[in-house]
């Protein structure tokens, strides 16, 4: 089973970024030569846009026999299982019930999580906590090879 999800930023982050660049432009145009202010504003807009695109490029899922979380991969051979977490359970997993040894790939605008338990005794992380918009589907994809055999 293959599962892939891109953790793109919500539309309102783009709106906030545009308002941020606009406020920079207003401040710079008030004190600097218009040509320099225009160059600064364009460069600021490009920089903020690239930052949003880079933050949105994160993908998570199960591909080619491995769990993928951003640039990180772990083979399904080393996965003991996965549990979907949503709502208060997900918040508790990142808060009061957190394990400081867990590997985290979380996004504040994505409400769901999957806890992926690892079986590798040499791994310093007993589990991965990965943000996802569809925790049940992601957990099912991680657990599918174990359930099939």
Query: Partners of 63 in the beta sheet?
Result: 66
Query: Partners of 115 in the beta sheet?
Result: 83, 129
Give pLDDT, residue 107: 93
Euclidean distance between the first and the last CA atom of the chain, given in angstroms as a whole number:
13
Cβ count near 137 (within 10 Å): 18
Give pLDDT, residue 134: 94
For each of the chain's 149 residues, which pLDDT tens digit applies?
A: 689 999 999 999 999 999 999 999 999 999 999 999 999 999 999 999 999 999 898 999 999 899 999 999 999 999 999 999 999 999 999 999 999 999 999 999 999 999 999 998 888 999 999 999 999 999 999 998 777 66
Cβ count near 107 (within 10 Å): 18
Give pLDDT, residue 149: 60
Q: Could you give the CA distance from residue 114 to residue 138 in angstroms, rounded to a whole number? A: 7
Give pLDDT, residue 28: 95
**Residue 30 near residue 82 (C-beta atoms within 8 A):** no
User: How would you classify the pairing of strands 127-132 and 103-105?
Assistant: parallel
């Amino acid at each position: 089973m293959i599962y892939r999800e891109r953790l793109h930023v919500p539309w309102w982050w783009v709106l906030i970024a545009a308002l941020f660049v606009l406020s920079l432009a207003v401040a710079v145009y008030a004190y600097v030569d218009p040509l320099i202010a225009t160059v600064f504003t364009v460069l600021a807009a490009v920089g903020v846009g690239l930052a949003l695109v880079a933050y949105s490029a994160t993908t998570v899922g199960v591909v080619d026999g491995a769990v993928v979380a951003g640039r990180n991969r772990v083979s399904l051979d080393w996965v003991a299982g996965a549990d979907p977490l949503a709502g208060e359970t997900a918040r508790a997993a990142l808060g009061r019930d957190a394990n400081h040894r867990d590997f985290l790939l979380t996004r504040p605008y994505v409400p769901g999580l999957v806890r992926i338990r690892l079986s590798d005794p040499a791994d310093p992380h007993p589990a991965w906590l990965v943000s996802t918009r569809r925790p049940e589907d992601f957990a099912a994809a991680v657990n599918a090879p174990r359930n099939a055999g």
